[in-house]
């Protein structure tokens, strides 16, 4: 497979819709003829039924699609209910656990200033945090799970963003406050 074929494959993988030869040529800075050759190489490499992905020509462009033989398994996987996004309370709780772990539920509540029972339970049910022991007073101690790292694309907790980056200077805070007030005033105007 040529470098251009690999690039075309990557572009088709990234695109949520069909991509025309002209669009691929523009993106790769190649001629449409070179892209057509790369597509044929890709088609040969993927081969019908040899791999889990096939190349399809639809709507005047090309897409990568799953092999029809995997349709039943794909239906089972995709029919699972999607989990809703995290609530504000869950996001705050998850951040506290991620940065301060291991941490108990009472410590999370003290930091947030409100009870965190429901948020901790929801995060544990979703598999984002897990119990990692008990404190000397019997309170459950929580830490983030492997699923948390996988979902957030982390290879380890040392890759969490530095929280000091999110602590604005007094000047930045004043600027942000002014911008928010102006935006609010503009919305209030008829």
Count of residues in the chain:
190
Largest Cα separation within the chain, whole Å, is 72
For the domain made up of 3-67, the CATH class stated in words is mainly alpha
Do 3-67 and 89-164 agree at the fold level? Answer: yes
Asked whether the predicted pLDDT for residue 42 surpasses 60, the reply is: yes
Asked whether the predicted pLDDT for residue 78 surpasses 60, the reply is: yes
- Residues 142 and 101: beta-carbon distance below 8 Å: yes
Confidence of residue 183 (pLDDT cuts 50, 70, 90): low
Into which CATH architecture does domain 89-164 fall?
Orthogonal Bundle (1.10)
- Residues 64 and 53: beta-carbon distance below 8 Å: yes
In whole angstroms, give the CA distance from residue 28 to residue 56.
Answer: 20
- Residues 2 and 39: beta-carbon distance below 8 Å: no
Sequence spans of domains, the chain: 3-67, 89-164
Asked whether the predicted pLDDT for residue 187 surpasses 70, the reply is: no
Asked whether the predicted pLDDT for residue 81 surpasses 80, the reply is: no
**pTM for the model:** 0.49
């Amino acid at each position: 497979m040529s470098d251009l074929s690999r690039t075309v494959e990557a572009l088709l993988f990234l695109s949520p819709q069909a991509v025309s030869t002209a669009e691929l040529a523009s993106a790769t800075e190649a001629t449409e003829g070179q892209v057509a050759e790369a597509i044929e190489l890709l088609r040969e490499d993927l081969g019908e039924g040899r791999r889990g992905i096939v190349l399809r020509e639809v709507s005047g462009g090309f897409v990568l699609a799953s092999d029809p033989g995997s349709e039943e398994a794909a239906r089972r996987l995709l029919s699972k209910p999607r989990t809703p996004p995290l609530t504000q309370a869950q996001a705050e709780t998850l951040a506290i656990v991620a940065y301060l772990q291991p941490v108990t539920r009472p410590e999370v509540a003290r930091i947030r200033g409100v009870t965190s029972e429901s948020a901790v339970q929801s995060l544990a049910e979703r598999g984002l945090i897990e119990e990692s022991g008990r404190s000397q007073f019997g309170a459950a101690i929580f830490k983030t799970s492997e699923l948390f790292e996988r979902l957030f694309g982390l290879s380890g907790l040392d890759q969490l963003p530095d929280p000091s980056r999110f602590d604005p200077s007094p000047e930045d805070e004043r600027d942000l406050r002014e911008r928010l007030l102006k935006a609010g005033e503009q919305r209030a105007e008829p």
